[in-house]
Structure 1
Amino acid sequence: MKKIIILTITGLIFYSCQVRKATVSTFNSAEEPKWTLETLNARANEHLDSSHWDKKLFQQDIATYEKYTEVFQSYPLNKSPFPVAEYDYAVSSIPFTIEYETQVVKGVRIGEYVNPDSDSIVDRLTLMVLSNDKESDESTLVDSRNFPYLTAEGYFVVTNNQIDWVFSASPDGYSFVVVNMKLFDLRFGETIIIYPQKDKSFLYDQIKDSPNNYANFELYRESIINNERVKQQLQSDGNIQ
């Protein structure tokens, strides 16, 4: 069963194939802060100062963790509660499936809203895994608590292995995803495709493309499946069946 988990101030929300926001609206600013080394350092110091903490949010997170401990511990990194300074930020996670001939690729888009009141999303990572099973298990947790950094993690279960991943994006433009200990610097491409192999290894592609570059996701999907290298990889005899 596919499940996406987003942590909000009201607890956990389980959903499939829908976009949800995770946001805490407690800090308002007339202008979006311009994140520099100095402002990021100031933000880090706010997290250390208990007078800046959102204590109500912290207590809600403790209660949520107590209720869903087993779920949080199932992720590559256990999501324990921790205090943070007040913030105003909304994040998104969108699962999808791509079918090409007899192949099935499952994926997730991780992004952030332009602002918490907006419907516009900027994708920061598009991760895909060849699963060849529409019903294979997958799960994603995208977290707003590290604002202004975007963080997420999850896993894809395939026939002979499990693909774990952890993602982080910095407001200064640097972002990465680690997939089963393979690090991808996303400055060199925000689309990552994983091809699990019969021998439990995996091959991969990193493509300098993103859904942000297209009017809709269908155009992006067509671009990916028409990529000659991707088509060649999908047809490899070494792939899982």
Structure 2
Amino acid sequence: MNKCYKMKRVIIFFCCISIGCSNVENNSKLESDEARTIWNQQKREQHLNNRNDKTTWDNQMLENDKQLIGIGEFGPFEIGVFPVPKYELLGKNSFKGLGNKTEDFKVGNKTVVMNSFFVAKNDINKKRLGDKHNDVFFQLLVLTDTLDTENYNLNKNIAISRNHPDYLAQGFVKTKTTTIDYVAFKTAEGGAYAIINTRLFHLNFGKTICIAPQKDGTFRSFQIKSPQLTSETIINFTESLTKDDDVVTFFNQKGAI
């Protein structure tokens, strides 16, 4: 496969697991780790209650996160700093990391930027992941007509764990004439969604989304029901996509930038 100028492959893990203990002494917060990592409606309701209960908040994390205020543009939403419950209230091993991986590819004669986001295996998702170390919940491929191989200001993204046990990713890709903004999230229940320039995608019906900006200012999208992917398999999978007839036709269609 012919690749264009290679962008940085980025893997970022936000291992923000607090080791402090809650000072709230009620039965729901003193359950065993095993019980706390069985996710159900009761756990969801308790988690929502914890959000409103300042005695469960991780104040050290809040202080550290204040450095993110005004950090700059990383997608459609300004990064908000909120107090969040201590991660270990959902189990000591309920969070093991979150990350992303980025690369650019040639598809026919066109250049495509790929961004992907994954959640590491933990006690909440381990049954769903099986023998996989992590799980890609969103992959975005965007047709572009320009690259910034020095400052990477045309393709920025961030993965955020502060909604633990739900996870969010957002970012943007800029072409010469337009911006593709996106946000995606995955819930502890297993549901996953993305919004790309106001188009909604249910990722459980295909986590790989292709976007082709058009010369007339409109967009085309192509959703692919990909197999279970990890940070280790995402590059090879994408390389195979670049040779797929439907994908090649989509990105090289008449009217695309």
> What TM-score, normalized by structure 2, do the two folds share?
0.78
Structure 1 residue corresponding to 2:62, chosen from 36, 58, 61: 58
Q: Which amino acid aligns with 1:159?
A: K
Identity of aligned residues (%): 23
Structure 2 residue corresponding to 1:96, chosen from 94, 97, 103: 103
Q: Map 1:13-92 to 2 at 5 A.
A: 16-26=8-18, 30-31=33-34, 33-62=37-66, 64-66=67-69, 69-72=70-73, 75-87=75-87, 89=95, 90-92=97-99
Equivalent position SS for 1:199: coil
CA RMSD, Structure 1 to Structure 2 (Å)? 2.6
Equivalence for 1:200? 217
Equivalent position SS for 1:147: coil
Corresponding position: 1:229 with 2:221: no
Q: Confirm or deny: 8 A CA contact 1:214 1:220 kept in the other structure.
A: no
Distance 2:137 2:110 in 1: 25
Q: Which amino acid aligns with 1:125?
A: F
Corresponding position: 1:139 with 2:152: no
Q: Once the 2 structures are TM-superposed, how far is the Cα of residue 120 of structure 1 from its aligned partner?
A: 2.4
Distance 1:142 1:222 in 2: 23
Q: Confirm or deny: 8 A CA contact 1:160 1:198 kept in the other structure.
A: no
Equivalence for 1:156? 173
Corresponding position: 1:128 with 2:128: no
Ranges in structure 2 where 5+ consecutive residues have no aligned partner: 1-6, 22-31, 88-93, 124-131
Q: Confirm or deny: 8 A CA contact 1:192 1:204 kept in the other structure.
A: yes
Distance 1:215 1:91 in 2: 14
Q: Once the 2 structures are TM-superposed, how far is the Cα of residue 100 of structure 1 from its aligned partner?
A: 2.0
Distance 1:92 1:214 in 2: 9
Equivalence for 2:200? 183
Q: Once the 2 structures are TM-superposed, how far is the Cα of residue 219 of structure 1 from its aligned partner?
A: 3.4
Ranges in structure 1 where 5+ consecutive residues have no aligned partner: 1-14
If you compute each CA radius of gyration, which structure gives the higher value, 1 or 2?
Answer: 2
Q: Deviations over 1:48-104 (max 9, x none)?
A: 100100011111212x034xx1515x5311112100001152111111112123211
Q: Which amino acid aligns with 1:206?
A: Q
Q: Confirm or deny: 8 A CA contact 2:133 2:230 kept in the other structure.
A: no
Distance 2:142 2:65 in 1: 31
User: Relative to structure 1, is the Cα distance of residues 23 and 192 closer, same or farther in structure 2, using a 3 angstrom cutoff?
Assistant: same
User: Relative to structure 1, is the Cα distance of residues 211 and 97 closer, same or farther in structure 2, using a 3 angstrom cutoff?
Assistant: farther
Distance 2:230 2:158 in 1: 25
Q: Once the 2 structures are TM-superposed, how far is the Cα of residue 111 of structure 1 from its aligned partner?
A: 0.8
Distance 2:8 2:244 in 1: 28
User: Relative to structure 1, is the Cα distance of residues 122 and 156 closer, same or farther in structure 2, using a 3 angstrom cutoff?
Assistant: same
Equivalence for 2:183? 166
User: Relative to structure 1, is the Cα distance of residues 49 and 214 closer, same or farther in structure 2, using a 3 angstrom cutoff?
Assistant: closer
> What TM-score, normalized by structure 1, do the two folds share?
0.83
Distance 2:108 2:199 in 1: 28
User: Relative to structure 1, is the Cα distance of residues 213 and 121 closer, same or farther in structure 2, using a 3 angstrom cutoff?
Assistant: closer
